[in-house]
Amino acid sequence: MKGRKISVLFLCSHNSARSQMAEALLRHYAGEHLEVYSAGLHPSEINPFTRQVLSEMGLDMEGQYAKSLMEYWGGKFNFTYLIVVCDRAEQECPLFPFSTYRLYWPFEDPSAAQGPDEHKLERFRAVRDQIAARVRGWLRELEAKHILPSTTSTQ
């Protein structure tokens, strides 16, 4: 993998919360070393709470929108890693021939939270923090394998 940028596609069902968070967080921590994308099997709108919890970290989602997996289908893109972040996408997309490695990182769907907005926001923050921890851990693994520079996951 040395000599070319590692490309990563995060996949979930709607590309409205988890995959958007993962894309923004990985870009934040290692964007200069990686090409990072996200998509959904059935894209909808980015959840406003997704934008809010990322904004709380200083991450700007300007220009981001929910994208369909079909935008990346057909060989236009070949990804180093496909990272599936929800159960539904894992079940509905058992094969994706345009990636070298497939990882499965299931996270709770914060969009399914019920109750007052403050409770929903807490769920989005919790999932954001879980994704951030998983992304940083994965970057440390890539650093240990000398795939990425050793300062990437500490940003």
DSSP labels for 29-70? HHTTTEEEEEEESS--PPPHHHHHHHHTTT---TT----BGG
Q: What is the pLDDT of residue 92?
A: 82
| Under-50 pLDDT residues of the chain | 1-2
Number of H helices, E strands in the chain: 4, 4
Q: What is the pLDDT of residue 50?
A: 98
Which CATH code is given to the segment(s) 6-150?
A: 3.40.50.2300
Domain boundaries, the chain: 6-150
Q: Three-state DSSP class for 82? A: strand
Active-site amino acid positions: 12, 86, 93
